[in-house]
Each structure stands twice: as C-alpha cells, then as structure tokens.
C-alpha cells in the first residue's frame, strides 16, 4: 500500500504527519500523474488525531461503512455527529482540526493545492478571496458524485494522466468556489472562442508534444490564459475538452503508426502516441475505434 501524500501539521510541534496511518491507503492518484489535486482512498482504523493545521484545501467524503460516531474538538469541547456514506468534511488551507472516531470506516480523501486553484482562476477571482467554508458532516450530492468519480478513476485506471487529473481538479474547484466558499457565487464563464492565431498555435503545440505528458496548466500558459479561461475557450472552439481532444488525436496517431508499420509492436506504438501504459492505450483505442488495437492491427494486415 502507498503512504499518504496528504499531509497535516501538528499545531503543538509543527511536525508534518500523513493524513492516514501507514498501511491504510488503499489507492492514490499520485501514480496517475495528477497535478493540483491529490485523491486517496483511505481505510481508517479508530484513531484520535492531535490538533493540526490542514495543508491545502482538504475534504474527506465518507465512502462506505456503517454509521459511526465522529467527534471533533472545537473551543476546547468535543462535538459529536454520526457519519454515513456520502457526507463530507471540508477545511480550507490553514484551518485547524482535531477529530477522533471509535470504529473503522472508509473515506475518499481529497486535497486541492491552493496555488493551483489561485492560478487556475486568476483572471476570474482574486486569490485573497479564495477561502472555502468549513463543513462538518454535511451532504452535497454533487460532492458525493465527484467522490465516486474520483474513486472509480483510482480503482479502474481508465484514462488518467496529468491533463485529465487537472481537468477534474478544475471542475471540482469551480464547484467548491461557487457553492462552498466565503463568497459563494456563480463565476462568470468566459465566452467566445480562440482567435485563428491562438487556435493554430495551440493545435501545433499539442501535436508537437502529443507523445509527451501534457498539462492543462502548461497548455493555458502557452496562450497566457488561466486554466479556467483556457478550458472554456477550448471547448467553445473545438467542441471537445482539452483532454478529449488530446486523447482522440493520440488514438489517430496510433492508427496511422499501425497502418504504416511492417511489424507492429503495440507497446512501442502506445508510447509513441503518448499513452503511458498498454492498458491505458487499449481502453482508449477501443473507446474511439470500437475494437482493441490488436484486432485493428490484424484487420489492417489482412
């Protein structure tokens, strides 16, 4: 099992410690190359944490398990609630927390990098206005839905990578800013499309680096836009999200490589097309083409 990459800071000692004890992290997004967002599935034993500061904007969404008693210290006194699947706890970066519980349960733990959130929305909301409201044992069906999606990605390994992870982080951050921040309000959506010059530069950039790990932040920075602004203009211009467009073009490159290869090596072709492993390549290829690459290669050879 991986160690937790979500960290807390003991208020008494200033020492950093992991959000989940050793051996309790069932799966983690760190292996998928996600940026701006860390997601882990925790199977937590009964425990009492010392008072600590939260690093990053942190959520814990109860994943499964029977209702249990959950307590936290506030103003020197213990407060109590009952957990059940789907409820969440939210603390903004720098807030203190001191929870305990007496029975095991599972959570989807989510940590958003504050610098990622600030940079992603820098031309929409001022960084000093970004502060999420503390939530204790509340239910939000959209957050529960995000948690299920995150968990599915961790366990299935469908179409991961930095670009997809940042896209999820951006969508999740947008929802939290609009529904669970100190200044909760609908953020204005960028309108319009890329100019012809911007569109040409972006398409050329993507195709040059198609076989490498692409980042939503890097793509946006190439046009000197925030990730939020860039993603909206991209969808308005091409009808696809950046991740969908890149995935589609990687599959098209793989098809061309298969067609011109005298001796097909699907592992090499997957890497040349920008897929980080064979299962990722197989699933994406079948999704767009309708058959696995091995079958497609046989059809081309016949």
Per-residue pLDDT tens over the stretch 158-214: 555 778 889 999 999 999 999 998 876 788 888 899 999 999 999 999 999 998 888
Give the model's confidence band at 157: pLDDT under 50 very low, under 70 low, under 90 confident, else very high: low
Q: What is the pLDDT of residue 184?
A: 67
- Which pLDDT score, from 0 to 100, does residue 283 have? 87
User: Taking 70 as the threshold, does the pLDDT of residue 302 lie above it?
Assistant: no
User: Are 44 and 24 spatial neighbours (Cβ–Cβ below 8 Å)?
Assistant: yes
What average pLDDT does range 78-90 have in this prediction?
A: 93
| pLDDT tens digit sequence for 225-237 | 999 999 999 999 9
**pLDDT value at position 54?**
87
Percent of the chain with pLDDT over 90: 66
pLDDT at 90 over 60: yes
pLDDT of residue 53: 92
Average pLDDT over residues 140-147: 95
Q: Quick check: 39 and 150 in contact, CB under 8 A? A: yes
Predicted TM-score (pTM) of the model is 0.88
Q: How far apart are CA 34 and CA 182, in angstroms?
A: 27
Contact 63, 41 (CB under 8 A): yes
Annotated domain spans of the chain:
7-179, 196-239, 250-301
Tokens of 161: 């990578």
For 23, list phi and psi in degrees, rounded to 5. 85, 5
Which tens digit of pLDDT belongs to each residue from 15-38?
Answer: 999 999 999 999 999 877 788 899
8-19 pLDDT, tens per residue? 999 999 999 999
* Cα separation values, 115 from 17, 55, 112, 122, Å: 21, 12, 9, 10
What pLDDT is attached to residue 159? 56
Q: What is the three-class DSSP state of 243? A: helix
- CATH fold of 250-301, please? Arc Repressor Mutant, subunit A (1.10.10)
% of the chain beyond a pLDDT of 70: 98
Q: What is residue 54's three-state secondary structure?
A: strand
- Residue 30, pLDDT score: 86
CATH class for the region spanning 7-179: mainly beta
Pairing type for strands 99-101 and 105-112 reads: unpaired
Cβ neighbours, 10 Å, residue 6: 22
Average pLDDT, the chain: 90
What angle do helix axes 242-260 and 293-301 make, rounded to 10 degrees?
30
Q: Cα Rg for the chain, rounded, in angstroms?
A: 22
pLDDT of amino acid 120: 93
Containing 145, the helix (H) or strand (E) segment is helix 141-156
């Amino acid at each position: 099992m991986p160690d937790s990459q979500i960290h807390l800071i003991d208020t008494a000692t200033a020492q950093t410690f992991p959000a989940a004890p050793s051996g309790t992290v069932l799966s983690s997004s760190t292996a998928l190359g996600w940026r701006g967002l860390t997601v882990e599935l925790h199977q937590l034993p009964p425990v009492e944490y010392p008072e600590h500061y939260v690093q990053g904007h942190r959520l814990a969404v109860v994943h499964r398990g029977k209702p249990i008693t959950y307590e936290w210290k506030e103003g020197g006194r213990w407060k109590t609630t009952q957990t059940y699947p789907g409820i969440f706890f939210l603390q903004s970066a720098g807030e203190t927390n001191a929870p305990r519980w007496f029975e095991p349960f599972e959570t989807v733990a989510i940590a958003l990098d504050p610098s990622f959130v600030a940079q992603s929305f820098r031309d929409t909301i001022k960084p000093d206005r970004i502060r999420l409201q503390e939530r204790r044992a509340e239910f939000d069906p959209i957050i529960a839905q995000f948690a299920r999606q995150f968990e599915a990605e961790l366990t299935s390994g469908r179409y991961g990578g930095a670009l997809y992870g940042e896209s999820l982080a951006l969508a999740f951050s947008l929802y939290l800013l609009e529904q669970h921040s100190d200044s909760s309000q609908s953020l204005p959506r960028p309108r319009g499309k890329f100019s012809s010059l911007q569109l040409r530069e972006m398409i050329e950039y993507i195709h040059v680096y198609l076989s490498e790990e692409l980042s939503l932040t890097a793509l946006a920075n190439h046009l000197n836009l925030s990730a939020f602004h860039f993603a909206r203009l991209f969808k308005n211009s091409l009808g696809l999200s950046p991740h969908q467009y890149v995935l589609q073009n990687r599959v098209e490159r793989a098809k061309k490589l298969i067609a011109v290869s005298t001796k097909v090596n699907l592992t090499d072709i997957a890497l040349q097309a920008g897929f980080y492993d064979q299962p990722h390549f197989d699933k994406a290829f079948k999704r767009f083409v309708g058959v696995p690459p091995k079958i497609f290669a046989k059809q081309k050879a016949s």
